[in-house]
Amino acid sequence: MQPTITDSVVIAVGGLVAVVALLFLAITRLKWHVFPALLVPILLFALVPGVDRAAFIKAFEVGFGKTIQSIAVVIVLGSILAEALKHTGGVERITMSMIRWVGEKHMPLALTLSGFVIGIAIFSDVGYVILNPLVHSAALKTGLTMSEMATGLVGAMQLTHAMVPPTPGPLAAVAIVGADVGRVILYGSLITFIASLAGWGYARLVGPRVVSPPSAEFAGQSFVDRGLESQLPSTWSAYAPIIIPLLLIAGQGVSALALPKGHIVNVVMTYLGWPVVALCVGVLLAYRNTRPEQADARKGAWVESALATSSMIIMVTGLGGALSQILRETPAVDAIATGMVATGLPSIFLPFVLGVVGNMVTGSTTVGVITSATISAPMMGTLGLSPEATMLAGAAGSMIVKYMNSSYFWVCMSLSRMSLRSALISYGGVTLVNGLVAMVMVYALWAVGVI
């Protein structure tokens, strides 16, 4: 018989509610970093009368270790890849290629599509900081408002940042729920592409009506405006570090389904499609784009910056896995799952709502998707949800809505030189539209049994 931390439904459910409430309070009111904000409530849970502390400690250690063992190195490699793309000009080259393919007459669409690609590898706020001068210059040349020019881009970057590995947030959620990375990449890319187009449509509809003039202060700051486009990597060199790893990871899943286990292609893809190897390939491809003066930085500063960025995600992911394992050994899982089933609502909406709450309370998409995965993971069997459906539904919810408590919102608002009202309509609105459309897609794929 599996040891339980507590047999009391009241203690289990009450402890979970208290942990989540203290987490949100610590982040929003006390301004704690997310790591202690999650760790302290979990530790306090163990002090509740009726909790078997020996079982609690064992569950904590098992859940923490099991969760990070498969994704820690991958998260670091993804962060190194992002650093390389940022410093080598890959982000701008991807954007310029989209503009050429779509045409300068359709600049908002080109920026939206570039955001869709860039958000897979780069943190959204970093991506917008890099592209902001180009967005202002494009708006000045075309006579469009910043709302029409930038809104689709802001939403698209946040979409793939929330839903498509190897960005740390979705990668962490994949590890917590035990989803297949290749399937999440495949279906997450489809969902976010359609939702990105919906965001572009929202920008075209609302943008011209929002007062948001571009600023000349940013003109001349981009590589292109400074006449340095020749220093950017080639189009293929800019895309390859993102596309090749995704194809390798997704290809592993396809070959496993289509070919016998001992087939030579399957044997090779088992190794090449391992996310550690696939992202190493991506990093090597990105490093090929470095200039001579960046030789020292790529060996030291970029790696150190990536380690600093990824360590927080790894630790928070481990804590999420620990809490998920603790919940598995309490009656809270069955009680909440049974209650959800009794409402008659489709079970897929539970992780979605948890993602919405996590994001809207803390302002963090990463916290939202990890919180949703942590609480939902132990209930998947009872709710009849696959790991992929659970992760993608929570990620869709973690998009909704970016407003004043989000650092990404403030970065985009301040650099866009928008008023608060204009930014709420533009960026708050597009993240609402993106999240809802993404959830409709998740629900449709789940309802027909694809995920």
Per-residue model confidence as pLDDT tens digits over 120-173: 988 888 889 888 888 998 898 889 999 999 999 999 999 999 999 888 889 889
The tally of domains found in the chain comes to 1
Which tokens in the block code for residue 260?
Answer: 């016998």
Has residue 3 been placed in a domain? Answer: no
pLDDT of residue 217: 82
Has residue 144 been placed in a domain? Answer: yes
Has residue 1 been placed in a domain? Answer: no
Alpha carbon distance 298, 287 (integer Å)? 8
pLDDT of residue 406: 86
pLDDT of residue 343: 81
Angle between helix axes 90-102 and 235-258 (nearest 10 degrees) is 90
> Could you report the per-residue pLDDT of 417-428, keeping only the tens digit for each?
999 999 999 999
Other C-beta atoms closer than 10 Å to the C-beta of 243 total 15
- Residue 222 pLDDT greater than 70, yes or no: no
Has residue 95 been placed in a domain? Answer: yes
Rounded to an integer, the average pLDDT of 20-41 is 88
Task: Say if CB 403 and CB 409 are below 8 A apart.
Answer: yes
pLDDT of residue 256: 79
Has residue 286 been placed in a domain? Answer: yes
pLDDT of residue 430: 96
> Could you report the per-residue pLDDT of 102-121, keeping only the tens digit for each?
888 899 999 999 999 999 98
> Could you report the per-residue pLDDT of 73-83, keeping only the tens digit for each?
988 998 899 88
Has residue 185 been placed in a domain? Answer: yes
Has residue 84 been placed in a domain? Answer: yes
**Residue 272 identity (one-letter amino acid):** L
Which of these, 109, 134, 121, 97, lies nearest to 236 by C-alpha position?
Answer: 97
Has residue 211 been placed in a domain? Answer: yes
pTM attached to this predicted model: 0.85
pLDDT of residue 1: 45
- Dihedral of CA 406/412/417/423: which sign? negative
Domain that holds residue 52: 9-447
Local confidence band at 42 (pLDDT 50, 70, 90 cut-offs): very high
- Residue 219 pLDDT greater than 90, yes or no: no
Local confidence band at 225 (pLDDT 50, 70, 90 cut-offs): low
Token pair 């890099």 is found at 130
Rounded to an integer, the average pLDDT of 61-75 is 88
Task: Say if CB 108 and CB 152 are below 8 A apart.
Answer: yes
